[in-house]
Structure 1
Amino acid sequence: MHYRRYVAIGDSCAEGLEDPYPDGRGYRGWTDLVAGELARLSPSLEYANLAVRGRRLDQILTEQVPTAVAHRPDLVTLFGGGNDVLQGRWQTMARSLDEIAATMARAADTVVLFTLPDIARLPGLRRLRPRVSALNDLITETAAKYGTLLIDVRDDEYCDDERLYGGDRLHLGPLGHHRVAAHVLTALKLPVDPAWLAPLPPACPEPLWRTASRHWTWLRHHVYPAVHGTVRNKLIGRQPGDGLVPKRPDPAPVTPMP
């Protein structure tokens, strides 16, 4: 199937965090990769990305969905819910997800939803495992209810492999973004570069001191700044992503990537 207009909505994962373009002109991510491959088959494809880091489902519903509908897409992807889990926003999560899926299913021929990887694999976040599981059950049920495509990232045997993630171990890195893009293209029944889904080589064992060093670096450069930033934002009434704008707010032609 050839698509005319693709709109991505969601949070940091849909924005493409931890997968910068080689020339430093911003974040790429799986959405840009998918758009580039779609453009090979449909040179007239237009692509917009409304995702903004830190956005919860209720914010995606109010800030991104009306614009997405106005763009008249025939393909929509939604990757979100992780910030609801981290912030414990259960009161509005189910209702927001249902309304997003229902609205997008009316607006576009093809809608793609995603489950989340197990963020509870990280030290200090294990208490969130029941929340992640509950959210994934909700996403699965919502996809079935509205007949959307579902990318269950847990089906990828490397889903929890640290090599798929960036330095913060929470967001996908370049390798992870390529794998998600490949799963989307597969679900759309489109050609996929086999290298994007190639098996990872066996992980090499490392000395205990190196593991400890990497863990300390992660705590110092990612965990501490994240905790400090969360506390500071709460004190001043800010939300992650406040002041940021979507990287591709309007549909525009796409140049296929090399």
Structure 2
Amino acid sequence: MTYQRFVALGDSCTEGLDDPYPGGAVYRGWADLVADRLARENAGFRYANLGVRGRRLDQIIVEQIPAATSLRPDLIALFGGGNDIMSHGYDERTVARRVDHAVQALTELSPHVVVFTLSDISRRMPFGWRMGPRIEALNAAIREAAVSYGAILVDLWGDHAANDSRYFGPDRLHLAEAGHRRLAAHMLASLKIPHEESWLAPLLGTPARPSALANARWLCNQVWPLVRGRIRNRLIGRQPGDGIQPKRPDLLPVTEWRPVRESA
């Protein structure tokens, strides 16, 4: 299958955190890697990335899906839902309805839609004992919607990479370079497109167990700023991602793209 117009939707994972291009000004991520591979198959290939960090599914539905409609994609990928399950006022049925709405809308928009479940990162998350059941409920909704509307499912729940800290960035939640390459390979495999075998190969060696000092630094430098920022945003009525524009809002050839903004 040759794809002409690929649009990626979602949150920080789609935007590419924590996989910066050389120089560190702009993030790359799995979607850019997939686009680069697809471009090799077709000189007329075009790619847009509408992902914005912090966005929930309800925001993706009203912001990104209408923008994607005007681009007339023949391939869409959506990675989202993580911010929904971490949001204040979380409700399982509400999130399930958002998933259903999003996947239905995308399958009406494009003939090929790829969706992803989340891997089991609850052990890396603050209050992971609360997040585990939420991730499972989100994944169940994504699987059901994929079956109902004929989307391609990349099911990451059982991926052993979730147990290896080297696939993740400093906050232990966002994917690092190795994690984004692995995710790109999973998507390409789901499309039956050749990919770099090394992207799915286990990393050499054994990940070091974080020390008590490293865990304390993680709580101080990563977890607390996240919690503080969410509390502050809620008090002033600001949503995560407000004011941030998609890094690649237009369909352009991969080789002609230049970053349109710096990542904050």
TM-score (norm 2): 0.91
2:133 is equivalent to residue 126 of structure 1: no
- Per the alignment, residue 105 of structure 1 pairs with 107
* CA distances 1:126-181 after superposition (whole Å, capped 9, x unpaired): 21211111110110111111111111112322233211100000111111000000
| Aligned equivalents of 1:83, 1:89: Cα separation in 2 | 12
Instruction: Look up the equivalent residue of 1:137 and give its one-letter code.
Output: A
- Structure-2 change in CA distance of 1:46 and 1:137 (3 Å): same
Partner SS state of residue 47, structure 1: strand
Instruction: Look up the equivalent residue of 1:83 and give its one-letter code.
Output: N
Q: How many residues align?
A: 254
Partner SS state of residue 216, structure 1: helix
Which region of structure 1 is more displaced relative to structure 2, 114-123 or 26-35?
114-123
How far residue 125 of structure 1 moved from its aligned partner, in angstroms, is 2.1
- Per the alignment, residue 144 of structure 1 pairs with 147
How far residue 249 of structure 1 moved from its aligned partner, in angstroms, is 0.7
Instruction: Look up the equivalent residue of 1:215 and give its one-letter code.
Output: N
2:200 is equivalent to residue 197 of structure 1: yes
Instruction: Look up the equivalent residue of 1:167 and give its one-letter code.
Output: P
| Aligned equivalents of 2:91, 2:68: Cα separation in 1 | 24
Q: Is the 8 A contact 1:7 1:47 kept in 2?
A: yes
| Aligned equivalents of 2:132, 2:25: Cα separation in 1 | 35
Partner SS state of residue 192, structure 1: coil
In structure 2, stretches of 5+ residues that fail to align are 257-264
In structure 1, stretches of 5+ residues that fail to align are none
Q: Is the 8 A contact 2:85 2:135 kept in 1?
A: yes
| Aligned equivalents of 2:69, 2:50: Cα separation in 1 | 11
Matches within 5 A, 1:87-98: 87=87, 88-90=90-92, 92-98=94-100
Q: Is the 8 A contact 2:6 2:76 kept in 1?
A: yes
Instruction: Look up the equivalent residue of 1:129 and give its one-letter code.
Output: G
How far residue 124 of structure 1 moved from its aligned partner, in angstroms, is 2.5
How far residue 89 of structure 1 moved from its aligned partner, in angstroms, is 4.6
Instruction: Look up the equivalent residue of 2:177 and give its one-letter code.
Output: P
- Per the alignment, residue 77 of structure 1 pairs with 77
Q: Is the 8 A contact 1:117 1:160 kept in 2?
A: no
Which region of structure 1 is more displaced relative to structure 2, 212-221 or 54-63?
212-221
| Aligned equivalents of 1:204, 1:90: Cα separation in 2 | 34
How far residue 44 of structure 1 moved from its aligned partner, in angstroms, is 1.3
Q: Is the 8 A contact 1:76 1:111 kept in 2?
A: yes
Q: 2:190 aligns with which of 180, 187, 192?
A: 187
| Aligned equivalents of 1:63, 1:91: Cα separation in 2 | 22
Which region of structure 1 is more displaced relative to structure 2, 100-109 or 4-13?
100-109
Q: 1:163 aligns with which of 163, 166, 190?
A: 166
2:158 is equivalent to residue 173 of structure 1: no
| Aligned equivalents of 1:33, 1:145: Cα separation in 2 | 28
Partner SS state of residue 27, structure 1: coil
* CA distances 1:182-228 after superposition (whole Å, capped 9, x unpaired): 0001011011111111112241556xxx6112212211210111111
Q: Over aligned residues, Cα RMSD in angstroms?
A: 1.7
Which region of structure 1 is more displaced relative to structure 2, 85-94 or 169-178?
85-94
| Aligned equivalents of 1:168, 1:110: Cα separation in 2 | 33
- Structure-2 change in CA distance of 1:20 and 1:56 (3 Å): same
Partner SS state of residue 7, structure 1: strand
Moved runs in structure 1, 4+ residues, more than 6 A?
none
Partner SS state of residue 92, structure 1: helix
Q: 2:118 aligns with which of 116, 119, 134?
A: 116
Which region of structure 1 is more displaced relative to structure 2, 115-124 or 21-30?
115-124
- Per the alignment, residue 259 of structure 2 pairs with none
Give the % identical residues: 52
